[in-house]
Structure 1
Amino acid sequence: MSAFKSLFKQTFIYGLATVLPRMLSFLLVPLYTSEAVLANPSEYGKVSVIFSYFVLFNVILAYGMETAFFRFFNKEDDQDKVVSTSIISLLISSLIFFLLAILSQEWISGIIEIDVKYVNLVIWILLLDALVIIPFAWLRANEKPVRYAIIKIVNVAINIGLNLFFLLALAQLSQQHDIFKSIYKPNFEISYIFIANLVASAATLVLLISFYLKIRFRFDKALWKQMMRYAMPVLIAGIAFSINETFDRILLKELLPADVAENDIGMYSACYKLALFMTLFATAYRLGIEPYFFSHAKTENPQKNYANILEFFVAFGSLILLSVVVFADLLKPIIIRSESYWEAMWIVPIILLANFCLGIYHNLSVWYKITDRTKFGAYISVVGAIVTLVINFSFIKLYSYKASAIATLVAYASMMFLSYYFGRKYYPIPYNLKKIGIYMSVSIGFSALSFYKYRENYVIGFALLIVFLGIVILLEKNQLKQILRRNEN
């Protein structure tokens, strides 16, 4: 139980590090979708497409080294060698990328059809973000969640503050004070968004610069080769994941008529944000649990703990799914200010469920990470990416973003089932499928009933929530009694 206490303590703090910044960044969605900033969904669509490329290139620049770092940091006796080899590898690769990208930014701009001024800002941000990958991983591996949380929160606070300054205050200040006239440009909102991101990324690197000053730079070629063999399947899985997560915006831009593409992307991306509650929960859980998986792999009967962890995740995730679906229409005017975006609300339950399946997949993925079979992670993610691409290419022209939402759900559900299937063969874990099945089926059924049959009927919605909570309490009463007894003692 002490191991669980440590896990939940770290998950809470990592959750704080993830939830609070993203809840702060949640303010950006009402800001961007307000009449004063990006009232037209097509403008928000441009921003969303650029951020889609962000996700893809962040994965490429990390090339699985973060996961490899965790594995070898817990495996090797000389941990300093793992740290220095990892950081030197990422330093060299990031600088090579930066030089090549800067020299060819005009060509890149023409290929992806994004203004070169945005491409230039994105290249700088990608470099800065790549340079903090290992420092952040080191904080997690050494169980320093508080410092991790503080730096993450500072990053987003700077980003939020600069967005508010650039998008709301600067125009007025430029009329009142000469000092602000030189930095204010009309119709420059999208550039200001990325400038804020750039400054926040630079500040994060400054806060972590002490990590670089303490390192004894030693590069172990043999170790690096082992780490790269471990990391390459993770890279493939990461690219496939980025396709599942954000490539649909790029495909919508390419496959829909030019006069509707960016408008539909804007609506889709804004309503997608309502699934953030599930994403936050799953991400916080993953950040806390990934080091736990590796550090407890050699303990006695770790499979039992892994099974309990998934059960707790599904219980909480099912509750979040149902809660957000029930109250989605109360949340939408708070988060998405302009009604011109609300047409895409249909996707909210679909994307919530998709991210729930993704969270379960991350929990199930323990088997291939601790048995060094990361190639299976690549295989599974590639299957998910193929599903995403096939459904999007086949149905976007007919159903627009609805096809993209369905593709995301089918892809993540496929990955979840495949991971369970192969995990049962190579690293059996005694999951309580009966409980997990009850939680998921009841939550999904109640969510569909609430959203598609009794939408905005909050009496029925609240009643469904109470019934579901009663089921959870009934099935977990023995666990709850044990926790209460321990607290009394």
Structure 2
Amino acid sequence: MSVLKTFLKDTVIYGLAIVVPKLVNVLLVRLHTDVLPNEGYSENTEFYVVAAFFNVILTYGMETSFFRFYSKNKDKKSVLSTAMITIVTSTIIFGTLLFLFRVPISEALRINTDFYSILVGITLLDTLIVIPFAYLRVTGRPIKFAFIKLINILVIVVLNLLFLSTAFRSNTLRHLFSVENDVEYIFIANLIASAVVLVFVLPYFFKAKWNFDTKILKQLLNYSWPIMVAGLAFVINENLDKWLLPEIEGEFINGAYSACYKLAVFMTLFIQAFRMGAEPFFFNHSDKNNATQTYATILKYFTIVGSLGLMIVVVYIDVLRPFLIKKESYLLALDIVPIVLLANLCLGIYHNLSIWYKLTDRTRFGMYISLIGAAITIGFNIVFIPKIGFMACAYATLIAYGLMMLISYVLGKRYYPVPYDLKRITLYLLISTGFSFITYYHLDRNIWLGTVFLLLFLLLIIVLERKELKILISKTNN
């Protein structure tokens, strides 16, 4: 099987494992926004913002570090067992502290104490499954990975439908949970689903030989801590807007902004699916003679698919939107969607480019780049939200991710040169962005003219890439 065919196969399977659950989860937005007022949806968003911070801190970059050293270390069992023991031990310690100081921490984070306890429970369970899932990915078991992920989302969906249905809300079973706020049912469903997943991956804890190697631990931590800092910076880039908006503009505005932000999820799903297949592939393929050329080809076609995705969502936003959001009160922030889509496409390109610092063990550069992005996000939001409202959040995200993408490209040329087709990549980005913004902001979302632009862009891709596409198709068929 060819290298690209293997990559595509794994990416499709991992894509299903990530996209299907996330897509189903996004479709729950319709249920949530139908049941919850804007203020309730804002509470839901703030809950998962804090959960994202906790997840980064508790995993401290160990997943990517495990990928790196499991791939390059001959004693793979020791890498697995050391990573397992480290994560389990740190989770117990952090979990104890988080519960002991739950009152002051929950007050500082502006979260109801009952919500906070559920949040900590979800975070601890999700942390424990990080290494087992990483093990499935790095050892090439995408089907098993996908199966467990699908079980997780099935539990979440069934419980959401049960808990938030009209029949359940009028049922005496509701009182067993002692829940006064409907949004708490969403959190309880997530907690139960995370517990179910942990049960499924428990056998992998016993596969480790539980041999703790301090030398390997030092290597893992030296590699992982910059990734943790970069992860925190990423969470700031992705979520600070939803943390500041309630304080500056109010919960109602934040609920609308957070709901409309979900419309950009189609780009996010594509990026996440790609990363799940690409990250282990990049590490495992790094010693091949044609590695850099392969990375260059992957980025170009990632950009093509991402650019098409940008245009499709923007052109057909009025067709897609009702599947996620129906209430008019949530639509006041709809204008952020094209900007956030482009920002996430820049983020996806950045993830592709970031392979240079991961393969050369210069993860501190990833930390520096992410901190620059976080500084832009913090400064821009604080200065401009009071002046232009929620649109400042979208602009801040685009500027931060765009600059991170450019910085990573420039540094990558110096430390790990890859022959990227810069002209084609830039051309596709500029044309898809131009067509998308003209359609949305200047043609009042005219679906017919937008479709013409989309077909013209697709024709351009076919004309420019037809020869290479034929070669790639013939290779993947061999």
TM-score, normalised to structure 2, is 0.98
Verify the 8 A CA contact 1:253 1:262 in the aligned structure 2.
Answer: yes
Q: State yes or no: 1:126 paired with 2:123.
A: yes
- The alpha carbon displacement at 1:438 in A equals 1.1
- Structure 2 distance, partners of 1:124, 1:328, is 36
Gaps of 5+ in 2: none
Q: 1:65 aligns with which of 62, 67, 72?
A: 62
Report what 1:242 is aligned to: 235
1:351-362 alignment runs, 5 A limit:
351-362=340-351
Report what 2:183 is aligned to: 190
- The alpha carbon displacement at 1:319 in A equals 0.2
- The alpha carbon displacement at 1:244 in A equals 0.4
Letter of the 1:325 counterpart = V
Verify the 8 A CA contact 1:278 1:317 in the aligned structure 2.
Answer: yes
Q: 1:49 aligns with which of 21, 46, 54?
A: 46
Q: State yes or no: 1:202 paired with 2:195.
A: yes
- The alpha carbon displacement at 1:327 in A equals 0.8
1:9-408 alignment runs, 5 A limit:
9-34=9-34, 37-38=35-36, 40-171=37-168, 174=171, 180=173, 182-183=175-176, 187-254=180-247, 256=248, 260-408=249-397
Size of the aligned set, in residue pairs, is 478
Report what 1:453 is aligned to: 442
- The alpha carbon displacement at 1:188 in A equals 2.8
Offset from partner CA, 1:311-335 (integer Å, 9 cap, x none): 0100000000011000112222221
- The alpha carbon displacement at 1:189 in A equals 0.9
- Structure 2 distance, partners of 1:484, 1:135, is 34
- Structure 2 distance, partners of 1:186, 1:61, is 28
Letter of the 1:137 counterpart = A
- Structure 2 distance, partners of 1:487, 1:3, is 8
Distance change in 2, residues 1:181/1:466 (3 Å): closer
Offset from partner CA, 1:254-285 (integer Å, 9 cap, x none): 3x1xxx41111101110000101100101111
Offset from partner CA, 1:173-214 (integer Å, 9 cap, x none): 61xxx6x25426564311111100000000000000110122
Distance change in 2, residues 1:225/1:475 (3 Å): same
Offset from partner CA, 1:126-177 (integer Å, 9 cap, x none): 1100000000000000010011111111101101110110010553561xxx
Verify the 8 A CA contact 2:82 2:212 in the aligned structure 1.
Answer: yes
- Structure 1 distance, partners of 2:210, 2:118, is 30
- Structure 2 distance, partners of 1:103, 1:262, is 29
Verify the 8 A CA contact 1:167 1:189 in the aligned structure 2.
Answer: yes
Verify the 8 A CA contact 1:171 1:184 in the aligned structure 2.
Answer: no
Paired residue secondary structure (1:476): helix
Report what 1:433 is aligned to: 422
Letter of the 1:336 counterpart = I
Verify the 8 A CA contact 2:62 2:224 in the aligned structure 1.
Answer: yes
- Structure 1 distance, partners of 2:215, 2:354, is 27
- The alpha carbon displacement at 1:60 in A equals 0.7
Distance change in 2, residues 1:488/1:25 (3 Å): closer
- Structure 2 distance, partners of 1:471, 1:45, is 42
Letter of the 2:19 counterpart = V
Letter of the 1:316 counterpart = V
Distance change in 2, residues 1:301/1:488 (3 Å): closer
Paired residue secondary structure (1:95): helix
Distance change in 2, residues 1:485/1:62 (3 Å): closer
Distance change in 2, residues 1:296/1:186 (3 Å): closer
- Structure 1 distance, partners of 2:179, 2:210, is 47
Letter of the 1:60 counterpart = I
- The alpha carbon displacement at 1:484 in A equals 4.8
- Structure 2 distance, partners of 1:314, 1:182, is 51
Letter of the 2:206 counterpart = L
Deviating more after overlay: 212-221 vs 410-419: 212-221
Deviating more after overlay: 393-402 vs 461-470: 393-402
- Structure 1 distance, partners of 2:371, 2:422, is 26
Offset from partner CA, 1:17-60 (integer Å, 9 cap, x none): 011111111221000111xx10x211101111111011111011
- Structure 2 distance, partners of 1:64, 1:185, is 37
- The alpha carbon displacement at 1:485 in A equals 4.3
Distance change in 2, residues 1:192/1:442 (3 Å): same
Distance change in 2, residues 1:181/1:199 (3 Å): closer
Report what 2:3 is aligned to: 3
Verify the 8 A CA contact 1:326 1:455 in the aligned structure 2.
Answer: no
Report what 1:467 is aligned to: 456
Letter of the 2:308 counterpart = L
Distance change in 2, residues 1:173/1:251 (3 Å): closer
TM-score, normalised to structure 1, is 0.95
- Structure 2 distance, partners of 1:290, 1:488, is 23
Verify the 8 A CA contact 2:38 2:256 in the aligned structure 1.
Answer: yes
Paired residue secondary structure (2:259): helix
Distance change in 2, residues 1:31/1:348 (3 Å): same
- The alpha carbon displacement at 1:480 in A equals 2.3
Verify the 8 A CA contact 2:78 2:211 in the aligned structure 1.
Answer: yes
- Structure 2 distance, partners of 1:426, 1:303, is 13
Verify the 8 A CA contact 1:68 1:231 in the aligned structure 2.
Answer: yes
Offset from partner CA, 1:234-254 (integer Å, 9 cap, x none): 111101000001122112233
- Structure 1 distance, partners of 2:213, 2:404, is 35
Letter of the 1:57 counterpart = F
